[in-house]
Amino acid sequence: MDKNTIIGMLLMVAVIFGFQYFMAPGEAEMAEQQRKQDSIAAKQNPQPSAALMLSAEDTQQIKAVLAEQAATDSTRSGIHSGAVNLELKDGQVAGTITLADTTINYDDLLSASTSPLNKQAIEAVRKAVDDVARNGAFAANMTGTEQNITLRNDSIEITLSTKGGVISRARLLAYKAYNAPNVDVFTPEDNQYGFILSNNTQRFDTRNFFFTPEKVNDSTVVMNLSLPGGASWGLRYTLVPQSYMVRMEIVQKNMTEIIPLNINTIDLLWHQKLARHEEGKMFEERNSAIYYKYAGESDVDYLSETSNDDEDIKDRLKWISTKNQFFSAVLIADSVFSATRLNSKVIDKDNPDYERYLKEFDIATVIPYASDKATPASFHFFLGPNRYALLRDYDKFSPKEDLHLTRLIPLGWKLFRWINTGVIIPIFNWLGSFISNYGIIILILTILIKLVLSPLTFKSYMSQAKMRVLGPDIAAINERYPGQENAMKRQQKTMELYSLAGANPMGGCLPMLLQMPILIAMFTFFPSCIELRGQAFLWAKDLSAPDKIVEWTQQIPFITSYFGNHISLFCLLMTATNIGYTYLTMQSQQQQQSMPGMKWMMYLMPLMFLVFFNNYASGLSYYYFISLLITIAQTYACRAFVSEDKVRATIAANQAKPRKKGGLMARLEEAQRRQQEMLKQQEKRNRQGRGKGQSNRSR
């Protein structure tokens, strides 16, 4: 074998080993191949399932639970929970477990079996025994068939469910939702509440029990739980006639054997997913929150309306409410709530429930309880609209204190709320008593407000007219005393001119500032006014919602959250009118020439209002639109009846009269005189200092 042959064979071996190395499968590939092989082998040679049976510990627990059942209530001994039916006979457990169409004897579960049905039966038995052990005397009420009982008056229809003994649905008969024929404040899938009772070793959640209904009359139903020893615990509901109030009372008897006297409180849990009722979700969401009132006080507080929030409240509360823009559910205690935990979550946009719900609320609170009292606690549920007149009547519903339910309606801070409740709402309701068209009511209300404010408007215009007439004189003073060194003299001469002419540079602003509280009060009134809900006017289908004329689906960054994805016509008209009014105002002001930047700022404000008001109630934009039109008309009327010649004559007459300087003007001139004296003294000292310096240098 020559040298070349040996080298060739070595190269071939190297190539073969290199190929095997680089083409060998990785660890992941080898694991996947092994899994497939194991799977194929398992299918070809299936292994028997592990044998299951009830253990000796299971049997002992079942006997103990059944013995406890027999001791506490001989009439309902045994475990009867859905598929499981077990009893204790001669010290031995007997019974059956029914799964689908198959019945399995309890004895069959004591022997090992690989049957899947046996596994399900064992799990069912263990769960049933655990439920009975945890619920003790209440265990017999854990199974049943859900039934619904309906109570109704002219305002509301409530549905009571035997599962949990709760109000499962509360329907307002006079109001429609944007996507349904009626507004449901409660629905079974959105609202759950219940009580947690406890003894020294167990806790009982009433949401897990099936109650037995007893209809006392057309307005009262008792949901009852029958318990061992002749005891019972239940909830009595009474629908107050011609009202949105439902009275809920805890009723019981012989409960001291089940709940000892040393237990003096029970827990109340309330979970609600707040459903949408309005087409404009954005604004409805901003006006939804948990509200609550402190007991014995007038304070009403609430969680954040725009973000997730929670609160631990140690003080006692009188009522707790889940509120949206126009409707509320308020739970009012006859006594108090204490140690309350509140939690509010905003429904995220990526949540599948985003379009259907606004917020998710959780409320946990503690109420006083005594097992030896026939009615240890009682409440009222208000389930209705946030109508000011209605809530004001309910404020006196409790004989012990004012409920302040009207605070559920956001009408602004104290001054603005006073204007709304003392002036705007009474006039609005009075007009509504004989006018059915709310667009006309807003028009008349706006005219009345402008008439009341017209003296201030006239005073503002007269002040602007005087300032416009004095414009050339002020310009002459500025030319006569130019430069920063004459600033004090220039200001003094200007103030003397104002004083002689009887003009006030702030005279045009102060009347407008005095009107601002009313404008702000109206800003809070219209979005909260349920009377406008569903009321059409001209092209607006609903004065409580935006009057959309153009819509789109795309989201505009940084703008959609305020502007929405539509254009509102009344808001456009308001903006155009505002720009026109701004132009009219700028024409009458001489200082715009010296402050050109202010001119563009004045025109920018109406465009900002367009962004922020586009998503508000069309009734609000309509009000501002009408108000601006009337203001423009008043301005032209003032120009027609008040000529500049008359203003000049008035100024000349004022200048001819000997005028006694008012206290403010006298103090201002005295301050100017003192400042001038100080400047003269300072200048004198500066000259003396410069003279000494020159003398020293000459030496």
Asked if the structure places residue 680 within a domain, the reply is no
pLDDT given at position 42: 45
Q: How many domains does the chain have?
A: 3
Q: Residue 15's pLDDT band (boundaries 50, 70, 90)? A: very low
Which domain, by its residues, includes 99? Answer: 56-141
Same domain, 359 and 469: no
Is the pLDDT assigned to residue 41 strictly greater than 50?
A: no
Is the pLDDT assigned to residue 351 strictly greater than 80?
A: yes
Of 116-130, 217-231, 497-511, 513-527, the range with the lowest mean pLDDT is 497-511
pTM of the model: 0.75
200 burial via Cβ count (<10 Å: 0-12, 13-18, 19+): exposed
408 Ramachandran zone, left/alpha/beta (phi>0; psi -120 to 50): alpha
Mapping DSSP to helix (H, G, I), strand (E, B) and coil, where does residue 689 land?
Answer: helix
What 8-state DSSP symbol labels residue 540? B
Same domain, 374 and 462: no
Q: Convert the pLDDT of each residue in 432-490 to its tens digit.
A: 888 889 999 999 998 998 888 777 777 777 776 666 666 676 777 777 767 666 666 66
Is the pLDDT assigned to residue 21 strictly greater than 60?
A: no
pLDDT given at position 185: 93
Q: Check if the beta carbon of residue 586 is closer than 8 Å to that of residue 604.
A: no
pLDDT given at position 48: 45
Name all contacts of 689-696 with Cβ < 8 Å and 24+ positions apart: none
Q: Residue 165's pLDDT band (boundaries 50, 70, 90)? A: very high
Is the pLDDT assigned to residue 344 strictly greater than 60?
A: yes
Q: Convert the pLDDT of each residue in 316-337 to its tens digit.
A: 999 999 999 999 999 999 999 9
Q: Residue 231's pLDDT band (boundaries 50, 70, 90)? A: confident
Residue in the block written with tokens 């209440």: 138
Angstrom distances, CA of residue 104 to CA of 65, 97, 131, 470:
21, 5, 21, 106
Task: Provide the token pair at 390.
Answer: 């209605």
State how far the Cα of 619 lies from the Cα of 384, in Å rounded to an integer. 23
What CATH number corresponds to the domain at position 305?
2.70.98.90
Same domain, 165 and 276: yes
Q: Residue 620's pLDDT band (boundaries 50, 70, 90)? A: confident
Same domain, 399 and 500: no
State how far the Cα of 568 lies from the Cα of 98, in Å rounded to an integer. 63
Task: Provide the token pair at 673.
Answer: 């005189």
| Residue at 427: amino acid letter | I
Residue 19 phi, psi dihedral angles, 5° rounding: -60, -45
Same domain, 539 and 591: yes
Same domain, 264 and 402: yes
Q: Check if the beta carbon of residue 612 is closer than 8 Å to that of residue 606.
A: no
Asked if the structure places residue 7 within a domain, the reply is no
Same domain, 369 and 457: no
State how far the Cα of 377 lies from the Cα of 371, in Å rounded to an integer. 11
Asked if the structure places residue 173 within a domain, the reply is yes
Is the pLDDT assigned to residue 594 strictly greater than 70?
A: no
- E strand intervals along 162-244: 166-172, 183-186, 191-198, 203-205, 212-217, 220-226, 232-239
SS3 content of the chain, % helix, strand, coil (to 5): 45, 25, 30
Residue that is last in its domain, among 618, 634, 655: 655
pLDDT given at position 303: 93
Asked if the structure places residue 123 within a domain, the reply is yes
Q: Convert the pLDDT of each residue in 570-588 to its tens digit.
A: 888 988 888 887 777 776 6
Asked if the structure places residue 617 within a domain, the reply is yes
pLDDT given at position 327: 94
Same domain, 132 and 160: no
Asked if the structure places residue 681 within a domain, the reply is no
pLDDT given at position 302: 93
Asked if the structure places residue 417 within a domain, the reply is no
Residue 318 phi, psi dihedral angles, 5° rounding: -95, -40
pLDDT given at position 388: 92
Same domain, 318 and 259: yes
Residue in the block written with tokens 């508000």: 616
Same domain, 510 and 475: yes
Q: What mean pLDDT comes out for the span 255-263?
A: 87
Same domain, 280 and 313: yes
Same domain, 299 and 200: yes
Asked if the structure places residue 334 within a domain, the reply is yes
